[in-house]
Amino acid sequence: MHIKTALAASVAALSYVTIAHANPQAEVLHWWTSGSEAKSVAVLQQEFAEKGGTWTDMPVAGGGGDAAMTALRARVLSGNAPTAVQLKGPAIQEWYAEGVLADISAVAEAQGWAKVLPESIANHMKCDGTWCAAPVNVHRVDWIWANKVLLDQHSIAMPNTWEEFNAAADKLKAAGVTPLAHGGQSWQDATVFETVVLGIGGPDFFRKALVDLDKDALTSDTMVKVFDQMRKMRGYVDANFSGRDWNLATAMVMNGEAAFQIMGDWAKGEFLAAGKTPGTDFLCGSTPGDGYLYNVDSFAMFKVDGQDKIDGQNLLAELIVGPNFQKVFNMNKGSIPARTDVALNDFDDCAKLSAADMGTTSDAGSLLPSYAHGMALRGAQAGAITDVVTAHFNSDMSSADAVKMRAEGVANSM
Ligand code: BGC
């Protein structure tokens, strides 16, 4: 290279480095708006600010993220994607296929993500061999939360089978206590439904029905039994369940207005934020049956113009997978770190149980992606299943009709 050109290039590189870290910017789209969720994401905002970043918050309320995904589509279609988006499961690869995701492999490689993330999680973060998302945590979905005082008052133990759950719920109902705190929003119906599929059908059946969309499994007698149990669950919720947000359902358990909630461990974040202690004020247990339904939150970066924004994306990716953030965020959020090298000593007992069960189910082949939280299926396929779950829950549709209607819906979504 000519000396003058070389000089110019190195000056450019130098000024690039200086400018590169001058003012990292990020507009972050997420749906963490409940008390504990906001407290958790504030940890990232703070770390980002400490590194000189400017964070523009774009929270879109709505548990499970359906509203956030609608907002995202509108932004991308108008050619103005946010810099960083809470996105997970196959939706990451769906957006990648649209050609709108940024490649964050340079950060992933510099930070050695491959060495600290389990392969099952890392695979969700890759698009054609490149890193296209940064994982935040592992939430377990198949949990049942209980008000300990209420259970003690009625001499009820945490249920290990669905028969035990039904017996406990019948007893509570007869005593005038709402057995199940639930919010009638389709993603919450789907959350309960998938734990029943896992419990009644077992891990192999879950995989066939809700991951592989196997027609025989979807139309089997086992699936009829699952809907029978859903009909029972409908009888255990209070009259005002329709449209209720998940955190308000959690508050019902906290305040003794209901005994149980079936919800992922973001519900635990709410208990903890209210100063409640597991084992004393509330109980956690996996829903009846074997297996573990995982839900990994992650952020994908969208292609944007401007070095400040690109710097913001790289800084965010680095912080998200950083050990400090993974610890502090997840202690607030109710989840466990995605990284395997973060010590869990300071975490609560439910988190320790989650980590232990994740290990054993991974070995046993029963660690499964949550369909209700977008980890297992493409959006249209999951939607076809959830539509029927919700329609059945909110009507007197028979289990046989639900199974039939769903098989048709899934076939049309393929
Ligand atoms: C997300 C959690 C969130 C929950 C309720 C889930 O799909 O993974 O991070 O707390 O929805 O909004």
Q: What is the pLDDT of residues 259-317, one digit of tens each?
A: 999 999 999 999 999 999 999 999 999 999 999 999 999 999 999 999 999 999 999 99
Q: Which range has the worst mean pLDDT, 262-271, 359-368, 400-409?
A: 400-409
Task: Write the residue with the smallest CA distance to atom 12 of ligand 1.
Answer: 63
Please tell me the predicted confidence (pLDDT) of residue 339. 97
63 CA distance to ligand 1 middle (Å): 6
C-alpha 40, offset from chain centre: 14
SS3 of 28, please? strand
Task: Write the residue with the smallest CA distance to atom 10 of ligand 1.
Answer: 266
Task: Write the residue with the smallest CA distance to atom 7 of ligand 1.
Answer: 64
Query: At 21, is the pLDDT very low, low, confident or very high (cuts 50, 70, 90)?
Result: low
Check: CB of residue 211 under 8 Å from CB of residue 236. no
> Which of 297, 320, 354, when mutated, tests ligand 1's pocket best, judged by the most ligand atoms within 8 Å of its CB?
297
From first CA to last CA, the distance across the chain in angstroms is: 55
Please tell me the predicted confidence (pLDDT) of residue 412. 82
- Domain topology for 2-139+296-350: D-Maltodextrin-Binding Protein; domain 2 (3.40.190)
- Burial code (b: 16+ CB inside 10 Å, e: under 16) for 70-109 equals ebbeebbeeeebbbbbbbbbbbbbebbeeeebbebeebbe
pLDDT tens column, 234-244? 999 999 999 99
Look up the pTM and report it.
Answer: 0.94
Sheet containing 143-147: order of strands? 178-180, 258-262, 143-147, 282-286
> Which of 186, 295, 370, when mutated, tests ligand 1's pocket best, judged by the most ligand atoms within 8 Å of its CB?
295
- The upper half-sphere exposure of residue 106, i.e. CA atoms within 13 Å in the direction of its Cβ, equals 7
Q: Where are the domains of the chain?
A: 2-139+296-350, 140-294+352-413
> Which of 373, 375, 386, when mutated, tests ligand 1's pocket best, judged by the most ligand atoms within 8 Å of its CB?
373
Strands in 187-267 per DSSP E = 258-262
Ligand 1 atom showing the smallest separation from residue 295 Cα: 8
155 CA distance to ligand 1 middle (Å): 32
Gap between the Cα atoms of 253 and 266, Å rounded: 14
37 CA distance to ligand 1 middle (Å): 8
CATH homologous superfamily, domain 140-294+352-413? Periplasmic binding protein-like II (3.40.190.10)
Gap between the Cα atoms of 233 and 90, Å rounded: 30
Residues with CB under 6 A from ligand 1: 31, 37, 63-65, 139, 246, 266, 295, 297, 373
Task: Write the residue with the smallest CA distance to atom 4 of ligand 1.
Answer: 64
Helix ranges (H only) for 98-147 are 105-110, 113-116, 119-124
What region does 65 belong to: left with phi over 0, alpha with psi -120 to 50, or beta? left
SS3 of 235, please? coil
Task: Write the residue with the smallest CA distance to atom 11 of ligand 1.
Answer: 64
| Percent of the chain at pLDDT exceeding 70 | 95
- The residues, any chain, with a CB within 8 Å of residue 1's CB and separated by 6 or more, are 9
Gap between the Cα atoms of 293 and 122, Å rounded: 17
The answer to whether 2-139+296-350 and 140-294+352-413 have equal CATH topology is yes
- The upper half-sphere exposure of residue 362, i.e. CA atoms within 13 Å in the direction of its Cβ, equals 11
Gap between the Cα atoms of 95 and 133, Å rounded: 11
SS3 of 57, please? strand
